[in-house]
């Protein structure tokens, strides 16, 4: 039982490049979330999903897109990376009240 996994763990991008972050969960949870963590700002919700095939915007959605084609996977895409998107990205899933978090992806945009 791996819980929530994230791929990749680290990535360096140049401004304007694109990439996709993958989140996978094996707990059959309906809800999945993408957050970014920045120093002094805590976690901010980017997008979330309440079930397979659904997505919705969170607090800071601009510059990101998501897809949930399969219940166990939640993808976060950056179409044209900007230095302001340098952050640590966390995925989480939820079945009951408690969220289960992945180990994070550290992204640097130069």
Cα dihedral value 34, 94, 5, 14, nearest 10: 0
Cα 29 to Cα 32, 51, 60, 96: the distances in Å are 7, 8, 23, 8
Comparison of 27 and 56: residue with beta carbon closer to another protein? 56
Q: Does 40 bind another protein (CB under 8 A)?
A: yes
Comparison of 17 and 104: residue with beta carbon closer to another protein? 104
Pattern 82-101, another protein, x by CB under 8 A: --------x-x-x--xxxxx
Q: Does 33 bind another protein (CB under 8 A)?
A: yes
Q: Does 10 bind another protein (CB under 8 A)?
A: no
Beta partners for residue 23, in sequence order:
6, 74
């Amino acid at each position: 039982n791996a819980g929530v996994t994230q791929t990749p763990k680290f990535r360096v991008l140049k401004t304007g490049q694109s990439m996709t972050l993958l989140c996978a969960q094996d707990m059959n949870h309906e809800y999945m979330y993408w957050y970014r963590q920045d120093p002094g700002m805590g976690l901010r919700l980017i997008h979330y999903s309440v079930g397979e095939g659904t997505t919705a915007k969170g607090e800071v959605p601009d510059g990101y897109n998501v897809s949930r084609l399969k219940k166990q996977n939640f993808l976060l895409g950056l179409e044209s990376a900007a230095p302001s998107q340098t952050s640590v990205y966390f995925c989480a899933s939820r079945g009951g009240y408690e969220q289960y978090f992945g180990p994070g992806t550290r992204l640097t945009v130069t």
